[in-house]
Amino acid sequence: MGRTLVIGDIHSGKRALEQALNRVNLHPEDHLIFLGDYVDAWSEAAETINFLITLKSNQKCTFLRGNHDDLCLNYLTKAEAPEMWLLHGGQQTKDSYDTQPKAIVEQHISFLQGLEDYHIDDSNTRLFLHAGYTNLRGVEHEYFSKMFYWDRTLWELAQVVEESAADDLPPRLKNYSEIFIGHTPVSKKQLVTPKRAANVWNIDTGAAFKGAVSVIDVETKQFWQSDPVEILYPGEPGRNLAP
């Protein structure tokens, strides 16, 4: 039996992703679940997607959709480049793709269009998604699909429950034994580890800023990390200068 390994936000940090996966010592039977936000921050957006496409040919992978992936897709398919996206890592992604041949861009559009909103494991107890959901009955009943990659209230709720030491979970969290998310960095200012609050695990350890790309084993909770991504991209700001 292989491991189920969850990978947090990457934000174009291909070098960090490669480093973290090397430290994991992957086995062919391992299942990799990527929580989204593959692009926006560092300079290797297209290279990161190329790496993921190649990885999928050799390893069982599940790729979930992040909000930055959706914004990138809008640029590649509709030339949408809102100022807020450009200020939060989109400029680096735009620069990366503006030099790519049409065939690569089309391949990456197909990859981004094929991303999944969420994944539930075979036991139907663990949920994996980029951000969150709002429906009290679970993801299958969510009215607003963009919540899967934009919501922050699930993580906020989990932290309030953790801090209050409540005896019982609120209805939204009871649907699953564990929930694995990214989207909201545990910290933007320093190297941190994945964080649990209530039954929610946040694997976004700030790769777009001063943190690392993180990988966690869902069973044992052993984790591996890259070096701080900014060290691997000297001279680049990432999103550290974003407003």
For the chain, what is the mean pLDDT? 97
Largest CA distance in the chain: 56
Report which secondary-structure segment, H or E, holds 84: helix 83-85
Res 169 pLDDT > 90: yes
Q: Distance of CA 162 to CAs 165, 172, 174, Å?
A: 5, 14, 14
Task: Quote the CA–CA distance of 57 and 75 in Å, as a whole number.
Answer: 26
Contact 150, 242 (CB under 8 A): no
Mean pLDDT, range 107-129, rounded to an integer: 96
Share of the chain above pLDDT 70, in %: 100
> Which pLDDT belongs to residue 88?
98
Res 56 pLDDT > 90: yes
Res 124 pLDDT > 90: no
The C-alpha angle 103, 148, 61, rounded to 5 degrees, equals 50
> Which pLDDT belongs to residue 94?
98
> Which pLDDT belongs to residue 64?
99
Only one residue has tokens 């090397």, namely: 22
Only one residue has tokens 């990988």, namely: 215
Distance, C-alpha 50 to centroid of its chain: 16
Distance, C-alpha 92 to centroid of its chain: 18
Structural domains in the chain, CATH included, are 4-232 (3.60.21.10)
Contact 76, 112 (CB under 8 A): yes
Question: 70-112: per-residue pLDDT in tens?
Answer: 999 999 999 999 999 999 999 999 999 999 999 999 999 999 9
> Which pLDDT belongs to residue 163?
95
The pTM for the full model equals 0.97
Report which secondary-structure segment, H or E, holds 7: strand 4-7
Mean pLDDT, range 184-193, rounded to an integer: 98
